[in-house]
Structure 1
């Protein structure tokens, strides 16, 4: 027969070990969620960066890429945190657990900054695309002109025509020089195979202007970056709570007084 105190200690040890195994499984699941939200944030950053790069001629300055850069850095730290968290779940190291918590705090700061920058730019997005009208006014239809190529590429990709609509082309110098018979072929709706940009058939042209389309595209990505803050915070809370319980149940080191010899 074992003494009651020894039996209670053995039962408590088994319960603690079982709870630690459960916490480590939860931590591994949390790390997989960190990878998932990191991939989501990274894709948002890449999408915004590509949009800013492709439409750089239409933007007033390059500050709009800051949310994309912070989103990409956040995604990198989320992936690193996920890898470290998986390592923590297989080790009994207070140092690794503390480092994991530190990385989660860094991720929270980076994601908060990306969200704040995205919110700031949503409020001034209309002024960000102000140079769009000037680029359309300087259109020459020349394949050697980078601004003209950018206009045609934007109209084809965004499926738009003009700044507000196709009638904006009537006020451009290019329209008068070309004889005033039609708009660029990039205005043609892709569903009409025999469209040549003539104003006699305006229903074959894209009906929406490029300014609204471009603003909507960038606004959509900025909103994704802002909304990604919520899943990141929720996953990090799980990570904080799980590691806190693991650190609480960490076995204490036994210290001994060394003799003079």
Structure 2
């Protein structure tokens, strides 16, 4: 291989390594965002398996960043060992990203069953700021601008509503555009209209879909990087074996 061809491949590897950094940041942030969404709403989920795509995406992002730095280093130095490690990490990332995509798709089609605990948490609402259930409900209704599981009428069947005299829903149900809202049910236009289950599913579905569709992009970038690394390794000078002479 001519020196010009070799330098061109190294320059290409440098550019592709920078692309690996970008992909690593995007993949890692998508996993982090899903993990944060789960941590804020973990009481609503019947199990913790939905965090698996997030964890795998975080690990995959870390490996992508590591390989990006390693690829940049290889574009200036020659090392058979680190070239082999670079290719090996590409295979590991392929496995991690594929697994994250499959698990994200699996949970995206079963969000309804994953959120079966949502109704129970709303039923156990007490209005106490020290109660984890109440904190989760109020935080979700304020953040997602929703009210009840399906709509505000879900509150009419809760024990908390009966204890308040059947007059009002939690203040976190109020639409932020109405500063005078107190949560009274005789003014339903001042309340958020959508239920929290739909809003929560939409937020989670967006993140899961992002992880799913991000995987083919990452795998395509990996394939191109793999070809470049393979071309460099193909013409790498390996130390041959020599017969030892007896003294």
TM range, smaller chain: over 0.9
What is the aligned partner in structure 2 of residue 10 from structure 1? none
Deviation at 1:144, TM superposition (A): 2.2
Structure 2 unmatched ranges of 5 or more? none
> Which of 165, 168, 172 is the matching residue for 2:154?
168
Moved more, 56-65 or 92-101: 92-101
What is the aligned partner in structure 2 of residue 197 from structure 1? 183
- Where 2:49 maps in the other structure, the secondary structure is helix
1:42 aligns with 2:37: no
CA–CA distance in structure 2, aligned partners of residues 93 and 174 of structure 1: 68
Instruction: Give 1:3-152 correspondences, 5 Å limit.
Output: 16-152=2-138
TM-score normalised to structure 2 length: 0.96
Deviation at 1:259, TM superposition (A): 5.2
- Larger Rg computed on CA atoms: 1
> Which of 137, 140, 144 is the matching residue for 1:154?
140
- Where 2:150 maps in the other structure, the secondary structure is coil
The Cα offsets for residues 49-89 of structure 1, whole Å up to 9 and x where unpaired, read as 11111101111011111111111110111111111111111
Structure 1 unmatched ranges of 5 or more? 1-12
| Pairs aligned (count) | 247
CA–CA distance in structure 1, aligned partners of residues 242 and 158 of structure 2: 87
CA–CA distance in structure 2, aligned partners of residues 52 and 100 of structure 1: 33
CA–CA distance in structure 1, aligned partners of residues 108 and 224 of structure 2: 30
Deviation at 1:140, TM superposition (A): 1.2
TM-score normalised to structure 1 length: 0.91
Deviation at 1:256, TM superposition (A): 6.1
Cα root mean square deviation, aligned: 1.5
CA–CA distance in structure 2, aligned partners of residues 257 and 196 of structure 1: 90
